[in-house]
Amino acid sequence: MKSNSRIIIIIIIALVVIFLFFSFKHTIKSSKEINKISPQDTLFFGLATGLGGLGDKAFNDMHFKGMMLAQKNYNIKFIYDSPLRIEDDIEVIENLIDKGANVIIAGGGYHMIAPVDTLSRKYPYINFIVIDDIALNYYDNVASIQFKQNEGSFLVGAFCALESKSQKIAMIGADDLNIINDFYVGFESGAKYINPKVKVFKEYITTYDKVNSAFANPKIARQIANNLYKNHDIDIIFQVAAGSGLGVFNAAKENGKYVIGVDSDQDYLAEGIVLTSMMKNIDIGLDLVIGEIIRKGFQNKAYKFGLNENGVGLSKMIYTKDMIKPETLDKLKEINNMISSGQIIVPSLFP
């Protein structure tokens, strides 16, 4: 009996040892599988574009291009949505969160600052990135990406002053906002740097239409541009109005005058008429920041990209380079280098 009891005990111990061995092996395997999970598997990005949504061939499309670039480079997952009105911002962002997004790209810029401030406190486990402006508060879950449009616009102003025959140039902005006026500050400064006597005009779409979106109103933009070209002897207009800028391109064609594109390379939209475009490389900025989030985790800070960081700059002028004076191109390179090196400090409305 004692012998049988010992045998039974030995068998039980052996079974327990075998069970513990396989349990431990399974635990090690599970741990290894968990360690294989990459940030791309835990991050789900939600892009809330600016007003007007995709198809503006400028600001909003550059956001989407940046997300597609990050998807290619880092295999990220993302969804997107667009507000029809500023009042829809919070609803659009919360819809993205409801669908699982845990990193919100607030692509509306100035009109998403307040919503982000509110929602970042309501959803402390969600990270928010304000694009093209500064955040009201940099909580642990809030960051921003700014582009030094004043530096790129300085180049545009210098370019216009160097190429304008009438020495009368203009900027059409969507609205009287800091972000738009920062373009103008750089634009005027660059023009006056070349010729202190150059006349610089400024118009806003909201001056003429306070009902419809200033960023998707090509009809009014066209009317403003026609007036500037016909009645004020303007020969080059810098349009800073997103989708509304398409109306300025049409007016330039009708009047045989010139225009400068904005945000993306818009030279192809009116070949030989769009002299150059002041590119705000939102795609590059987004890709860089998303890459940093994947490598280092989310950081609540203000990212800034200027000429030195390839955040802004002029297009390659594929359709117009042969029309532009060689000395103009040489001067632009010189100014670019002087801004990048700190020899020229471009004024700005932002700290």
Q: List domains and CATH numbers for the chain.
A: 39-147+283-309 (3.40.50.2300), 149-279+321-341 (3.40.50.2300)
Question: What is the gyration radius of the CA atoms in the chain, in angstroms?
Answer: 27
Contact 205, 224 (CB under 8 A): yes
Query: With the C-alpha atoms ordered 97, 102, 108, 110, is the resulting torsion angle positive or negative?
Result: positive
pTM for the full predicted model: 0.82
Mean pLDDT by 10 residues, the chain (351 residues): 58 55 45 44 92 83 94 95 93 97 94 97 97 95 96 98 98 95 98 98 97 93 98 97 94 98 93 96 94 95 94 96 96 97 95 80
Q: What's residue 351's pLDDT?
A: 80
274 strand-pairing partners? 259
Task: Give dist(CA 94, CA 104) in Å, integer.
Answer: 10
Task: Name residues whose C-beta falls within 8 Å of residue 162's C-beta, 6 or more positions apart in sequence.
Answer: 194, 325, 327, 328, 331, 332
Question: Which alpha helices (DSSP H) does 232-265 contain, by range?
Answer: 245-255
Q: What's residue 96's pLDDT?
A: 97
Range list of β-strands (E), the chain: 44-48, 77-81, 103-106, 127-131, 142-147, 168-173, 199-204, 236-240, 258-263, 274-280, 302-305, 312-314
Q: What's residue 24's pLDDT?
A: 44
Q: What's residue 51's pLDDT?
A: 85
